[in-house]
Amino acid sequence: MIVTAPHSRVARWPAIRPWLGVAVRLGLATVWLVAGGSKVGDLAASGRAVNAYQVMPYDLATVIGAALPFVELALGLLLLLGLATRLSAGVSAALLVVFVAGIVSAWSRGLAIDCGCFGAGGELAAGQTPSYLPEILRDLGFLALAGFLLIWPRTPVSVDGWLAGDASVEDDDE
Amino acid sequence: MSSRKGQKDAARVVREQLARERRRKRTLWVSVAAVAVLVVAGLIGWSVYSSQRSDDFTAPTGSNEAGTGVVAGSGPVTVDVYEDFLCPACKQFKQASSPAIDQLVSEGKIRVVYHPVAYLNRYSSTQYSTRSSAASGCAAEGGRYREYARALFDRQPPQGGAGLSDEELVDIAAGVGLDRDGFASCLREGTFKPWTEHVTEEASKANIASTPTILVDGEEIADRSPEGIRAAVQAAGR
């Protein structure tokens, strides 16, 4: 198969992939840092945003709402450092799947809420209509980033690579 | 096959196995550390939130029993009004429908509970929703919630800015006949901020997702026009 593929493309992918990986890792890190940072200032509002989905009791929603921004920030930090990249990507993917499921369920139940994705939401501002589809598509885009890192977790300029010593060694770990 | 080559091969296999073992261990510890970081982060969030919460609140004079809103009138049908002073749709509602509501109150047909929720803090740089709601508590304490709320909506600041200053909130209070100094100290001391938090939390618990939300005997009404409210009250009164 390698023989039949055009030479240039074969040569390019291994050269590009590590740097594309860095971009993806930093991109996903930014997403989490911004998402967490925008909620961390008002934890009560974050709890209300979770409660607005009406999928769990209020008290549980406030606990999740308070914990989530900090977990998002921590995930962003891990990805920024490139520490435990595969695990972080896995947790990211799991969270994103839960978020998408939440939005789909709110949509299907006809709730009119703000997803609270960036900045504590829950309640819609005046005259706003829910924008569920763009929110879902955006989360799916982020999911693709997480998927890339699940498959190729090893990227240059990462703590994982530094710990492994030789970055050129392909291992399946992290 | 020479025994020397065999020894070399065996040594290489052992080395590779040791290296694999080291990698496996490293991955395990890195993963454990990362999971610990995430769990600790979550716990920090929870404890920060718990420490921020205040369970004690003082409801202003004229509140309902649960302390979730300010009551006007004593008619048989209860109308709940959830409003945020920064919400433009609430302003429109107030200007269009409050004369009708006031009339229903004075006719003795309804009992209104106003819930000044602080939902839209993220749309101002100074937590205007919380500040204005706490200010409305001070107005309720002085017996003039409705007048003050009306005046706040008439002077509603745009979303995304700093909102009205505390001085302006006091000026408006004086303008509707409240005692300037008493109101100013109530506002300055944040007397009703915990109440605002309580009102907001209870509204969220009641699954009020947007403002304004109007309930007539517990049922949300879609038509918030004066006619819609009259019709809903009439239907509930039967």
Concatenated DSSP letters of B42-84: HHHHHHHHHHH------PPTTB-TTSSSEEE---SEEEEEEE-
Distance, CA of A80 to CA of A22 (rounded, Å): 9
Torsion angles phi and psi, residue B77, rounded to 5: -100, 130
- Number of domains, chain B: 2
| Chain A residues close to B45, C-beta within 8 Å | 40, 43, 66-71
Judge whether B75 lies within some domain.
Answer: yes
Instruction: Look at strands B213-216 and B110-116 and give their pairing.
Output: unpaired
In a shared domain, residues B133 and B175: yes
Q: How many CB atoms lie within 10 A of CB B126?
A: 15
Q: How far is CA A98 from the centre of its chain?
A: 11
Q: Is A129 helix (H, G, I), strand (E, B) or coil?
A: coil
- The answer to whether the CB atoms of A70 and B45 lie below 8 A apart is yes
Judge whether B210 lies within some domain.
Answer: yes
In a shared domain, residues B137 and B210: yes
Judge whether B115 lies within some domain.
Answer: yes
* Tens-digit pLDDT profile for residues B39-98: 999 999 999 999 988 778 999 999 999 999 999 999 999 999 999 999 988 999 999 999
Q: What is the mean pLDDT of chain A?
A: 86
Nearest to B122 among A45, A113, A164 (CB): A45
In a shared domain, residues B89 and B207: yes
Nearest to B117, CA basis, from A115, A53, A131, A48: A48
Nearest to B79, CA basis, from B2, B1, B146: B146
Helix axes of A132-151 and A85-108: crossing angle, nearest 10 degrees: 160
Window 3-62 of A, Cβ < 8 Å to B = 40, 42-45, 47-48, 51-52, 54, 58, 62
Judge whether B57 lies within some domain.
Answer: no
Tell me, yes or no, if A150 comes closer than 8 A to chain B by beta carbon. Answer: no
| Chain B residues close to A63, C-beta within 8 Å | 46, 49
In a shared domain, residues B83 and B147: yes
* Tens-digit pLDDT profile for residues A94-113: 999 999 999 999 999 988 88
Torsion angles phi and psi, residue A3, rounded to 5: -65, -40
Alpha helix locations (H) across A82-131? 85-108
> Which domain range does residue B112 map to?
70-237
* Tens-digit pLDDT profile for residues B142-195: 999 999 999 999 999 998 899 999 999 999 999 999 999 999 999 999 999 999
ipTM of predicted assembly, 2 dp? 0.86
